Structure 1
């Protein structure tokens, strides 16, 4: 009888021990960020924009990549815990809604239409629509100077259409399939100017093969407030905003601006304040 009592007591202790171990195991899984896997964060970027977000044989480079890496670090993730996913412009809202990514940093301009679908942290960069011209061209100093010029952008670009419709209606718009094709045309004088966001233009002009060949006209034709997109209602928004503020205050923001855009003599705007959207 005594033996049975001891055995029952031991069984009870063992059961409690196993339960505690199981609870500890579950907590550990939660901390890891995945069921039994290593902790990771998935971030959407552009794969084809030099200076902004580009996939190379050596890895991922660009201003957005550097900003996203810094933010991820403040959220508790090291570089080897980041999974990068290509976020093409037309896919960004869908990727966030489906949960394909935790956040997106991909030259993602904050607009009222997009704010209906996703939330934005930032802005973290104020860019402007501008034109890239040959380094020896001094004929384009204002949007009106684009009249009768051969203007290039990628097929379907709203930037080129904006210049043609509103700012320089006599511009000769030529649509090429890629920015690289436009740059080739600009280099051999088949076109006079390439238009899109100045940050994107600076990224291309900063490539070593184009050093000293192009320059930004500095027209600042529109305001483009780059934000970090998150799923609607996500608590990541406030955490990312805090990280962005720290990035500016500790000098890291200016360092990545200089390293990614500096070779193109990009005259960047000061770091914008969180929530300050320039129309």
Structure 2
């Protein structure tokens, strides 16, 4: 793993963009400096432990806790937050249109996405991994996935990555959602579920699944979760300051333990702001 820092050229480009945005910003863009007490934050609604809207209308998960902390540092109480669902395919559009102030939604920082939006953070280093049954002792290393029934959601690249790169003989099963994969895993219809370890830990930590599953701990990829903002937004620097404070005062560790602890998730230490692990 090779961490790299944001270059001086990139920082200069961001400064130029911020000047341009200040001069000709979109009238529709969300603006937390306008005196409006409300702040709109994009999260996932369907990832337990990460970002979840519960049946009673509450919002829970690590991303929710991080976003709530950041919002408070920006001057907004929890009651000021308007949560908005940010599905993976919609995240860049939501930011570019100004529908949200920022997005914290298991949002991996990639060069392609950085062409469209800016990222604060990273605030979590996750890895692609597999979830298996707690009593399964046949899958101890990635190669053991060969000839196993491997599940992920339809359209996901995670399972295909394993099949292409790690275990070409794995039997790929694509379901409509992770909950279906979990049911199949529990009923021994499939042998393993793959996606980011943070998402897997969130599912495994749910009370109905406690003790039933375990993570493989394979670290098949590096996923640097960042908080997305509009390109050129000065919110990026403010959010970075908030994230640094969250780590320093222990709130980051507390949020990890609260949301992932029951799954025995062996998280990486809090990443350094502006350092992406390749």
Which residue of structure 1 lines up, in the alignment, with residue 35 of structure 2? Answer: 33
| Aligned-pair CA distance for 1:32 | 6.5
Which residue of structure 2 lines up, in the alignment, with residue 235 of structure 1? Answer: 234
The counterpart of 1:53, out of the listed 46, 51, 54, is 51
Q: How does 1:137-156 map to 2 (within 5 A)?
A: 137-156=136-155
Distance of 1:40 and 1:115 partners within structure 2: 27
Distance of 2:238 and 2:219 partners within structure 1: 31
Structure 2: stretches of 5+ with no match in the other structure: 1-31
Q: Deviations over 1:48-98 (max 9, x none)?
A: 000000001151000000000000000000000000000000000000000
Distance of 1:223 and 1:144 partners within structure 2: 19
Higher RCO, 1 vs 2 (CA within 8 Å, ≥6 residues apart) = 2
Q: What is the root-mean-square deviation of aligned Cα atoms in Å?
A: 1.0
TM-score, structure 1 normalization: 0.87
Distance of 2:136 and 2:35 partners within structure 1: 53
Q: How does 1:1-279 map to 2 (within 5 A)?
A: 33-34=35-36, 39-56=37-54, 57-279=56-278
Q: 1:125 to 1:191 in 2, by over 3 A?
A: same
* Equivalent position SS for 1:277: strand
Q: 1:46 to 1:31 in 2, by over 3 A?
A: closer
| Aligned-pair CA distance for 1:138 | 1.4
Tell me how many residue pairs correspond in the alignment.
246
Distance of 2:233 and 2:140 partners within structure 1: 44
Distance of 1:275 and 1:169 partners within structure 2: 35
TM-score, structure 2 normalization: 0.87
Structure 1: stretches of 5+ with no match in the other structure: 1-29
Distance of 1:58 and 1:253 partners within structure 2: 24
Which residue of structure 1 lines up, in the alignment, with residue 7 of structure 2? Answer: none
